[in-house]
């Protein structure tokens, strides 16, 4: 923090209800090798910048889960909490209002605990240079494209990138884009940014940076996280 301004901020979006897991506990609070998923996620950002401003956006009613996490992790006491809205778009929009003193803000899925510090660095560096930094990974499977008429054709996978988070932006630019009216073309933060400011800048993500949405993902993450 310099002169009342933070250089880096991150919005940890933890709005998911976990219904796809078929479990009581939302996936961001499930344990991986004895520690809740979301603690790995927050640690990765503190490793990048111990001074980072962090806001966690929680689903309504999930405060008790978060408080249990903080109870075992005193370093999380200074993390601010915001309540999510009915959609991810609303949640991010709410969260961004808390970041006014931040120069560059990352928006990250709570259920991506395996983002590397190098990925986080590349994203923020790109946002400093180009206004945005979106981590992507190559596609390692053969893919086909389904046309309007339901026909399928081969698609060149070397042209495809899988999009990860954190999606990092100059705060003033992403805030401006989120202040406009919702559009159905908004599928992630990059697309909101693009609706106003043009193309985003892509950087290399890391292959382990998976999004935990199924029980299989959780198993895989526990394997990847073991030291």
**Nearest approach, Cβ of 160 to its own copies (angstroms)?**
6
Binding residues with its own copies: total (CB under 8 A): 39
Vertex 100 angle, CA 176 and 4, to 5°: 145
User: Could you say whether residue 11 binds its own copies (CB under 8 A)?
Assistant: no
Query: Residue 33: is it exposed, middle or buried by C-beta count within 10 angstroms (0-12/13-18/19+)?
Result: exposed
Q: Which is nearer to its own copies, 83 or 116 (CB)?
A: 116
Show contacts with its own copies in window 102-161 (CB under 8 A).
134, 136, 139-147, 151-155, 159-161
Q: Indicate whether 19 belongs to the interface with its own copies (CB under 8 A).
A: no
Residue among 53, 49, 45 nearest 101 (CA): 53
Q: Is residue 191 involved in binding its own copies (CB under 8 A)?
A: yes
**CA atoms lying within 13 Å on the CB side of residue 161:** 13
Residue 24 contacts its own copies per CB under 8 A: no
Q: Which of 76, 190, 203, 212 forms a contact with its own copies (CB under 8 A)?
A: 190
Distance CA 211, CA 214 (A): 9
DSSP 211: -
Count, residues in the chain: 227
Of 81 and 139, CB closest to its own copies: 139
Establish if 204 lies at the interface with its own copies (CB under 8 A). Answer: no
Q: Is residue 72 involved in binding its own copies (CB under 8 A)?
A: no
Q: What angle do CA 111, 34, 53 make, to 5 degrees?
A: 45
Q: Considering the rule CB under 8 A, would residue 224 count as an interface residue with its own copies?
A: yes
Q: Compute the least distance from the CB of residue 46 to its own copies, in Å.
A: 25
| Piece of 3-11, 55-63, 100-108, 216-224 that binds its own copies (CB under 8 A) | 216-224
Secondary structure class of 41 (helix, strand, coil): helix
26, 108, 109, 165 from 91: Cα distances, Å: 17, 12, 12, 16
d(CA 39, CA 30): 10
Q: Which residues bind its own copies (CB under 8 A)?
A: 134, 136, 139-147, 151-155, 159-163, 185, 187-188, 190-191, 194, 199-200, 202, 207-208, 211, 213, 216, 219-220, 223-224
């Amino acid at each position: 923090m310099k002169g009342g301004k933070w250089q880096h901020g991150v919005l940890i979006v933890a709005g998911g209800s976990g219904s796809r897991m078929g479990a009581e506990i939302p996936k961001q609070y499930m344990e991986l090798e004895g520690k809740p998923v979301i603690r790995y996620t927050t640690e990765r950002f503190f490793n990048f910048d111990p001074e980072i401003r962090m806001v966690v956006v929680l689903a309504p009613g999930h405060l008790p889960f978060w408080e249990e996490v903080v109870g075992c992790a005193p370093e999380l006491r200074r993390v601010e909490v915001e309540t999510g809205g009915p959609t991810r778009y609303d949640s991010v929009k709410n969260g961004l209002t808390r970041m006014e003193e931040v120069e560059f803000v990352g928006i990250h899925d709570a259920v991506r605990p395996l983002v590397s510090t190098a990925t986080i660095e590349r994203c923020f560096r790109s946002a400093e240079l180009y206004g945005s930094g979106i981590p992507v990974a190559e596609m390692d499977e053969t893919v086909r494209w389904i046309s309007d008429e339901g026909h399928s054709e081969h698609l060149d996978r070397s042209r495809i990138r899988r999009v990860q988070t954190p999606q990092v932006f100059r705060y003033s630019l992403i805030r401006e884009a989120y202040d406009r009216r919702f559009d159905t073309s908004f599928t992630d933060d990059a697309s909101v940014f693009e609706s106003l400011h043009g193309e985003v800048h892509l950087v290399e993500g890391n292959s382990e940076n998976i999004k935990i949405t199924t029980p299989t993902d959780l198993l895989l993450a526990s394997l990847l996280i073991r030291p």
